[in-house]
Structure 1
Amino acid sequence: MASFILQVPRTVRCFPVSASSNAGASVSGSQSGGNGGPVIVELPLDKIKRPLMRTRANDPHKVKELMDSIQEIGLQVPIDILEVDGVYYGFSGCHRYEAHQRLGLPTIRCKIRRGTKETLRHHLR
């Protein structure tokens, strides 16, 4: 198993990322994972576009439970982000994202995959 460190701009914190041959994920040293493999980073909430925000409401009870958990033990599962041309789009983790917002946390841990505009159009359907 190999470990990698992601080098990113000052506004984003670095996390070690592990990948193994049987996990199917490969990680390179670039911000977007080079070949489209996922990387884990801490992104500012205001850098994440939430295209699904208008189409669904979050369960307030679930958000409150997540807020309590995040305060006690931190975020355990990063949200999924698609990066297209330097713009970050969130498609999952709506409750975790809202919990971070309500707690006033400036950043959230994200699993980022790089995509194309065509990939983005596919997700917006």
Structure 2
Amino acid sequence: MRVQEIAIAKIRRPLPRQNDQAKVQKLMESIQEIGLLEPIDVLEVEGEYYGFSGCHRYEACQRLGYETIRCNVRRAPRSVLKMHLA
């Protein structure tokens, strides 16, 4: 696994999730004050990025207008992606 900055627009969120908006707001305040401390996890499959965790951090950075987000990137074959989507 490696850490890298990835364009938020390039990260696909294939599983819909309802975020706790109070938590997102608190994260936005924290990120503005001290930055994003914990990268989100993404799966890289054939050059495309898929996010399955860090939903609140992702939304907070998106709402703050960040163009990129720090990610823990794990490369995987399409078969692993299919397991996450099952």
Q: Which has the higher helix share?
A: 2
1:76 to 16, 31, 37: 37
Partners in 2 of 1:75 and 1:106 — Cα distance?
Answer: 13
**What displacement does 1:95 show?**
0.3
Matching residue of 2:68 = 107
Unaligned runs of 5+ in 1: 1-37
Matching residue of 2:19 = 58
Matching residue of 1:40 = 3
Partners in 1 of 2:82 and 2:5 — Cα distance?
Answer: 25
| 1:49 partnered with 2:12 | yes
Q: Work out which structure has the larger RCO, using CA pairs closer than 8 Å and 6 or more positions apart in sequence.
A: 2
Partners in 1 of 2:31 and 2:5 — Cα distance?
Answer: 15
| 1:123 partnered with 2:84 | yes
Matching residue of 1:87 = 48
**Is the radius of gyration larger for structure 1 or structure 2?**
1
**Runs of 4+ in structure 1 displaced over 4 angstroms?**
none
Partners in 2 of 1:124 and 1:115 — Cα distance?
Answer: 14
Partners in 2 of 1:104 and 1:63 — Cα distance?
Answer: 14
Normalised by the length of structure 1, the TM-score is 0.68
How many residues in Structure 1 have an aligned counterpart in Structure 2? 86
Normalised by the length of structure 2, the TM-score is 0.98
**What displacement does 1:99 show?**
0.2
**What displacement does 1:86 show?**
0.2
- Percent identity of equivalent pairs: 60
